[in-house]
Amino acid sequence: MADPIVFIVYVNDAPAAARFYADLLEIEPTFETPRYIFFGLADGTGLAVWSGADGEVAPETRRTSEVCLTLEGGRDAIDARFKEWTGKGVRVVSEPRDEVFGRTFVVADPDGNLVRVAPVD
């Protein structure tokens, strides 16, 4: 078995960010502290929000990484998720479009961290 991998997203307010991700991804945290909240994903993989980084996370800072949610169902599933998420008022970074790997779009969390939706590879 491979060692577990946790993807950490730096945020200003861990509880607020956890509510955002819980609502968006329709999952609940499996571990919570005031500044670090963990979501168990697939076997050996997790997503955590952490407000323990030095300094404030500025939403306008250019991001060079992203969390990616992959969906089955092709173009229709991607477009339906976009409609669902925009109905929740998320900030859209990139509207749905076709890329070499398929249909995709990008939104941002309240701290400016990127969340991509793409098809399952």
Residue reference for tokens 């970074």: 93
Per-run averaged pLDDT (10 residues), the chain, 121 residues: 86 95 96 96 91 77 87 95 97 96 96 95 82
CATH code of domain 1-52: 3.30.720.120
What residue ranges do the domains of the chain occupy? Answer: 1-52, 65-121
Q: Which CATH architecture has domain 65-121?
A: 2-Layer Sandwich (3.30)
Residues 6 or more apart whose CB falls under 8 angstroms from that of 109 comprise 9, 11, 17, 20, 21, 115
Adjacent-strand bridge partners of 46: 6, 40
Q: With a threshold of 0.85, does the pTM exceed it?
A: yes
Q: Report pLDDT for 1.
A: 56
Same fold, 1-52 and 65-121: yes
